[in-house]
């Protein structure tokens, strides 16, 4: 990567924004200049990047002048509000929100799967939902062996999916529970500590909530396969920052466990954790702060002759959000290497 880039991070003070800064630095993205953008209440704060203190600026329509790549983690409404100004300034907007994911001419990109789609952008590239990314990084190597016709997935989603406020609520409620204090839900509709509940997005007329339908629709778009059937159940569980998913797939031909493990072992972004002798398989606590998706418990589906079952964990803030966005920026930069 010989070219250097003027980069903006929108929503820089949020949980994902902070991880974007860390990831840009850790992966040594070729940053020429960095502009940190947030709401007016964050103005005056300073964040560190490569040993330098950078002030946070209020995001306005003029914030993107001279910017090459804008990483957005400010939420769907803010992405919609500033998309026009960002694109018209000449910047490429890599958006972590749900605002543009299903817009037909906006690429929805997981770099391990469909990096070439990024170059079809018209100023905006969408980052998929965290649950979809983590699932498909694990499934793409298996899809290459034989097309997947059906996916049944149950997700166990951590508190960071609701941002810093979600993580804070879990920690506060845990302390309240341990110390015998009343638990008063504020961010989530139900007690979060020592509990689990169905993902609290709205239920549609088909009985599936918004989070679940993201997995259905985004999977088809990313894989360029409208015939994949997806049956998701999304659950919030009291962990901090890594999602877990139990996945069962049916393929066009029977893929053996050995063949699947061999493909996964060579796949980018995947780390196999599959020690049956010690019952050691993917765990959220071991995928925290990791770039790879952990994959294990790979086994035959006893109910389906062409089926496999597996269990995965991935850091929601990294591969599920900030890391994937930075990887998309790396894909764009690769054209100028």
Q: How far apart are CA 304 and CA 282, in angstroms?
A: 24
Torsion of CA 92, 98, 99, 104, to 10 degrees: 80
Half-sphere exposure of 144 (CA within 13 A, CB side): 16
Q: Which sequence positions are flagged as catalytic?
A: 130, 243
Q: How far apart are CA 183 and CA 186, in angstroms?
A: 9
Q: Which residue has the tokens 């543009």?
A: 100
Q: Which residue has the tokens 């995928």?
A: 287
Q: How far apart are CA 300 and CA 293, in angstroms?
A: 21
Q: Which of 81, 96, 92, 88 is nearest to 20 (CA)?
A: 96
Q: How far apart are CA 87 and CA 335, in angstroms?
A: 20
* Sequence-ordered strand ranges (E) for the chain: 5-10, 31-38, 46-49, 52-58, 69-72, 92-95, 124-126, 148-157, 197-198, 229-236, 242-251, 270-272, 293-300, 307-315
Q: How far apart are CA 87 and CA 107, in angstroms?
A: 15
DSSP conformation letters of 76-94: HHHHHHHHHHHHHTTPEEE
User: Which residues face 70 on adjacent strands?
Assistant: 8, 93
Q: How far apart are CA 105 and CA 326, in angstroms?
A: 21
């Amino acid at each position: 990567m010989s070219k250097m880039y003027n980069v903006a991070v929108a929503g820089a003070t949020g949980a994902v924004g902070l991880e974007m800064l860390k990831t840009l630095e850790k992966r040594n993205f070729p940053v020429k200049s960095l502009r940190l953008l947030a709401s007016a209440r964050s103005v005056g704060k300073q964040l560190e990047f490569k040993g330098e203190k950078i002030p946070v600026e209020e995001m306005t329509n003029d914030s993107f002048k001279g910017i090459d790549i804008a990483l957005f983690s400010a939420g769907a409404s803010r992405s919609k509000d500033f998309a026009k100004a960002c694109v018209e300034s000449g910047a490429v907007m890599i958006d972590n929100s749900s605002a543009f994911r299903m817009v037909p001419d906006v690429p929805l990109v997981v770099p391990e799967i469909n990096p070439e789609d990024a170059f079809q952008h018209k100023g905006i590239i969408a980052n998929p939902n965290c649950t979809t990314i983590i699932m498909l990084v694990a499934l793409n190597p298996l899809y290459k062996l034989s097309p997947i016709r059906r996916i049944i997935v149950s997700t166990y989603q951590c508190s960071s999916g609701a941002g810093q406020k979600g993580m804070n609520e879990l920690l506060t409620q845990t302390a309240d529970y341990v110390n015998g204090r009343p638990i008063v839900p504020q961010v989530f509709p139900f007690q979060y500590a020592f509990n689990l509940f169905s993902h609290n997005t709205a239920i549609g007329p088909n009985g599936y909530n918004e989070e679940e339908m993201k997995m259905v629709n985004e999977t088809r778009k990313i894989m360029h396969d409208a015939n994949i059937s997806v049956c998701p159940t999304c659950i919030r569980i009291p962990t901090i920052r890594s999602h877990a998913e139990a996945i069962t797939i049916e393929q066009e031909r029977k893929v053996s466990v050995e063949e699947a493990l061999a493909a996964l072992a060579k796949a980018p972004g995947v780390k196999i954790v599959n020690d049956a002798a010690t019952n050691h398989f993917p765990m959220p606590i071991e995928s925290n702060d990791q770039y790879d998706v952990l994959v294990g418990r790979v086994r035959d589906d006893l109910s389906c002759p062409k089926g496999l079952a597996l269990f995965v964990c991935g850091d929601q803030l990294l591969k599920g959000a900030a890391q994937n966005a930075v990887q998309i920026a790396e894909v764009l930069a690769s054209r100028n290497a």
